[in-house]
Amino acid sequence: MKIARVFQSLLTLILLASSCVSQAHDMSSSSLRVAILLFDGVEEIDYAGPIEAFGASGVKVFTVGQTKSTVESVWGLKVTPDYDFADAPEADVLVVPGGGIKEAWKNPKLLDWIRERSAKVKVTMSVCSGAFILGKAGLLDGISATTTASLRPQLATMFPTTKVSDKRFVDAGKIITTAGLSAGIDGTLYLIERQLGKKQAEAAASYMEYDWKPSVN
């Protein structure tokens, strides 16, 4: 009987400790708010990859479009934004995906909104050709950046003050840019590590069964 009571006491302590750790995890992650920009022609993995990684970390994620009208992604997936430019709540991180950007980067309302939000958030991160949208918004001037491999020469030509890198992601402080497609997941996990700690990033990668190599950039 004594052994049973001791075992029960130990089990109770373990469960209480686990609960405390879980609550602390939830508090640290849920305090981070991430806004994902959507527009017609956006690449699916450019926004879905970061949403999955942030979501696996317990981060609050929401999507924003110029309007709440459904947008069609590059491969046909249709998504309805949670908010529009007028009613989007404050965020700590803004993610600007790439894809079919020819209309997006010529849209003055979209560029103005990115400039306005980037001034308020802790980090603005682009994925793939989303770097060109940041460049058009004037956010890559004088910093290092990357984009999908095939478009790096074009990025360097269009934005001559930007130092274009061949890395999978570049941390330039308040601006993080990532290379193409799956590189957005690497950039997101890096950002999770930077903001919430390595253990949280590793847990998200494990949940996703993603072969994350944080030492490789």
Residues with a catalytic annotation lie at: 128
d(CA 80, CA 85): 13
